[in-house]
Amino acid sequence: MKLAILVIVFVCCSIFLSGQEIEYDQAYIIGSSIKFQNNFGCSIGYNVFPTSKIRLGVFIDYSLNNLPYHDSYTSLADLSKIVEDVQPHNQQVVLKIACSFNLLKSTKSLLYFGAEFGLSYFLINEKGEQTVTLRQGNITSGNFSSNYSVDNRFGFGLLLEYELKDIILKRISASVSLHPKITSYQNFGLMDSNDPIIIGWLNFNVGIKYSLGKKR
């Protein structure tokens, strides 16, 4: 809720700033969690420029992982061995704010370095086959499905972006960027789960931007 209020204030204040642009990115995302190992997604953003060197942005990111995976772990409740073959349809939505600085003096090329932080919302939808081996040696197997959400998980990271201005048409720019970050996930101390407390991410983005209002 606090982040949403900050976003609203940010958008309202931005109309008084000189430079503005809208941005759309396609992303390939590598996650450290087995539930989010390989993700494809997109991002929509709005940037403002208080000065020629400083850029502030607000973004909504979406990503999806639907690649099957194999998992095995030991239950802390009864020390049984659990093996799963999973077909996921796991989604993530991120509402984030970014601040970056241009490191170049060129009029055509920009190199941004900065930080970003936000809140992640996960929707976990999985089904598959599970085999459980008890301590006594008994084995049971069957199909399973799970559907739940993990909300309001704070994350922060860095960004490094190269932008080439005025491609094909004026006001249109192209960019490539790298976004390493971490996000909290499972609550500390939760029993009988192999989900991580923190997930690391590495995002590779290719984007296009359109400049609004006065030129930067």
pLDDT at 194: 72
pLDDT per residue as tens digits for the range 57-66: 999 999 999 9
For the chain, the structural domain boundaries read 2-11+20-64+92-120+150-213
Q: Which residues make Cβ contacts (< 8 Å) with residue 1, sequence separation at least 6?
A: none
Tokens representing 53 are: 């060197």
The domain defined by 2-11+20-64+92-120+150-213 carries CATH number 2.40.160.20: yes
How far is 96 from 18, CA to CA, in rounded Å? 22
pLDDT per residue as tens digits for the range 131-155: 888 877 778 888 989 999 999 999 9
Which is it for strands 69-74 and 198-213: parallel, antiparallel or unpaired? unpaired
Which is it for strands 90-102 and 172-184: parallel, antiparallel or unpaired? unpaired
Cβ count near 90 (within 10 Å) = 20
Looking at residue 155, its amino acid is G
Overall average pLDDT of the 108-128 stretch: 96
